[in-house]
Amino acid sequence: MEQRGLGRLRLPGLLALLALLAARTPRVSASQDLNLWPLPLSVKTTPRLLYLSPGNFFFGHSPTSKAGPSCEVLQEAFRRYYDYIFGFYKWHHRYKKIPSEMELQKLEVLVIMDPQCDHFPNITSDESYNLLVKGPVATLTANRVWGVLRGLETFSQLIYQDSYGTFIANESNIVDSPRFPHRGILIDTSRHFLPVKTILKTLDAMAFNKFNVLHWHIVDDQSFPYQSITFPELSNKGSYSLSHVYTPNDVRTVIEYARLRGIRVLPEFDSPGHTASWGKGQKDVLTPCYHAREPSGTFGPINPILNSTYSFLSQLFKEISAVFPDEFIHLGGDEVNFDCWESNPAVLNFMMNKGFGKNFKKLQSFYMQMVLDMISAMNKRSIVWQEVYDDEGKLIPGTVVQVWKMDSFSTKLSNITAAGFPVIISAPWYLDVISYGQDWRHYYSVEPLDFEGTREQKQLVIGGEACLWGEYVDATNLTPRLWPRASAVGERLWSPPEVTDLENAYRRLTRHRCRMVKRGIAAQPLFTGYCDHEGRM
């Protein structure tokens, strides 16, 4: 099993050894009929069937577990998964007596280390688990609650109904752990506002696919829906309308809903480009563009030459770093248009004084450096789009670079990791780009570590993100556009690198998609066919 991360991610405790052992054993032979997605590290099943009766099954804590009924993350998850497993079917409360070793009556959850019930998940959160399904009591063992969440999802995927409607599961033993620690979905609430309920639905679906990062590209040129307490005018003036804003309470709702599903919320406040909407509610924050030595009345990127800019940003990011508990803040830094800076005499003067000459990349570096330092000073870490690295900004070690351009993609991965920076891959996974047919196969067939580099370099790839930019997406079409196409990315980032069989993936994903539909996610079809329970759509 690969270990990867930020130079400090280690799989702790008992499970590490277990997982290593499991990885060596022959995998998945008996699992042809299983519908697991993403495929766990190791699955062993027997033909022995266990019967479940909804009225005689429950989730419980093992007496030796470090977590108990006071662990809200688990209590919520128990109810949720009971519903996913049994809730959409008709069943009778009375149950027939069958020999107890053939009946599965309980899933006992055992958390070995400090469960982290009240924590937020982070990049080093341990999501590994061991699931032993046998009668009458199955056990789910994990170091932390995060592994329990992933294991509950897997457990729910093991249970199916036979042709008479009886709930069954095969006796099985699953050892699982993610390949990459950062598995994200990018949503864009600036090009179109997404109602909170759409975001929560997305979090549900993410949990079904074992994603663990919601990358919230919350503001951009088109609108500024984030309601800031410090600078309320930003959304008062910069949002599409006053009903198209995220109040502090909305943001808290999203973060808590995500936490309960083991999902981090990574906020992106993209600058200095992509900031047109900021200018509406904050005077002087954007660079005035000039035409023929006169202000043209239009505005460009954030104005990098004013002290007021940095004091504004410092206050804004201070708020953001308090509102969003995640260790990381995404600072953007992509697609900065230099024309406006070049047209502005004060900017030119500043460049001269700083000795930047005509090199506007240096000005961008100067700006990014100021913001990066700000974030460091707040004890947060930064993620930036690849341009910030390309433009040779001096990056603090540990700054994460997100690669989004398909251009010289693998060379770029080599270069950035050779320079020692952790990387998030998005380039092959721009899901807003659509085409006829089964494009999920392309997403699925990407091998993230297929680039020139040492073992250490490869370990710097902390994961990837499926990006659903919002130009053509809003609440009317987000869900079917995202799912199950993003599921392909989900398995690529979770499962071992050898899990690449497209036919097997098609079979499992078709059923996984139907399972999502059954759970209320309007995931679109992969191809012709039907689902048993599509009536809810």
Q: Which is nearer to a copy of itself, 28 or 196 (CB)?
A: 196
CB of 270 to a copy of itself, least distance (A): 15
Q: Which is nearer to a copy of itself, 277 or 495 (CB)?
A: 277
Using the contact rule CB under 8 A, the part of the chain among 101-109, 142-150, 451-459, 516-524 near a copy of itself is: 516-524
Among 100, 476, 497, 501, binds a copy of itself (CB under 8 A): 476
CB of 250 to a copy of itself, least distance (A): 14
CB of 474 to a copy of itself, least distance (A): 5
| DSSP, res 461 | E
| DSSP, res 446 | -
CB of 475 to a copy of itself, least distance (A): 5
CB of 528 to a copy of itself, least distance (A): 4
**Pairwise CA distance, residues 180 & 92, whole Å:** 42
CB of 55 to a copy of itself, least distance (A): 26
- Under the binding rule (CB under 8 A), the answer on residue 253 touching a copy of itself is no
Contact 496, 179 (CB under 8 A): yes
- Under the binding rule (CB under 8 A), the answer on residue 522 touching a copy of itself is yes
Please name the residue that has the structure tokens 């998609």: 513
Segment holding 457, helix H or strand E: helix 455-459
Among 240, 310, 338, 366, binds a copy of itself (CB under 8 A): 240
HEC states along 241-304?
CCCCCECHHHHHHHHHHHHCCCCEEEEECCCCCCCCCHHHHCCCCEEEEEECCEEEEEEEEECC
- Under the binding rule (CB under 8 A), the answer on residue 511 touching a copy of itself is no
Q: Tell me if residue 101 is catalytic.
A: no
Using the contact rule CB under 8 A, the part of the chain among 55-63, 166-174, 263-271, 520-528 near a copy of itself is: 520-528
Which x/- pattern, by CB under 8 A, does the window 374-413 give for a copy of itself? ----------------------------------------
HEC states along 66-108?
CCCCCCHHHHHHHHHHHHHHHCCCCCCCCCCCCCHHHECCEEE
Using the contact rule CB under 8 A, the part of the chain among 43-51, 306-314, 447-455, 519-527 near a copy of itself is: 519-527
**Pairwise CA distance, residues 507 & 94, whole Å:** 35
For 277, 313, 491, 510, the CA distances from 274, given in Å and listed in that order, are 8, 15, 32, 38
Which x/- pattern, by CB under 8 A, does the window 138-177 give for a copy of itself? ----------------------------------------
HEC states along 29-71?
HHHHHCCCCCCCCEEEEEEEEEEECHHHCEEEECCCCCCCCCC
Which x/- pattern, by CB under 8 A, does the window 269-308 give for a copy of itself? ----------------------------------------
Count of residues binding a copy of itself (CB under 8 A)?
40
Using the contact rule CB under 8 A, the part of the chain among 64-72, 94-102, 178-186, 188-196 near a copy of itself is: 188-196
- Under the binding rule (CB under 8 A), the answer on residue 434 touching a copy of itself is yes
- Under the binding rule (CB under 8 A), the answer on residue 532 touching a copy of itself is yes
Contact 124, 147 (CB under 8 A): no
With CA atoms as reference, report the closest residue to 139 among 121, 80, 147. Answer: 147
Among 470, 487, 490, 495, binds a copy of itself (CB under 8 A): 470
Q: Which is nearer to a copy of itself, 76 or 474 (CB)?
A: 474
**Pairwise CA distance, residues 381 & 379, whole Å:** 7
Residue environment code for 408-446, b if the CB has 16+ CB neighbours within 10 A, otherwise e: ebeebbbbbbeeebbbbbbbbbbbbeeeeeeebeebbeb
Question: Strands 106-111 and 328-330, how do they pair?
Answer: unpaired
Q: Which residues are catalytic?
A: 335
Q: Binding residues for a copy of itself, per CB under 8 A?
A: 191-193, 195, 222-223, 240-241, 243-244, 432-437, 470-477, 479-481, 517, 522-525, 527-530, 532, 534-535, 537
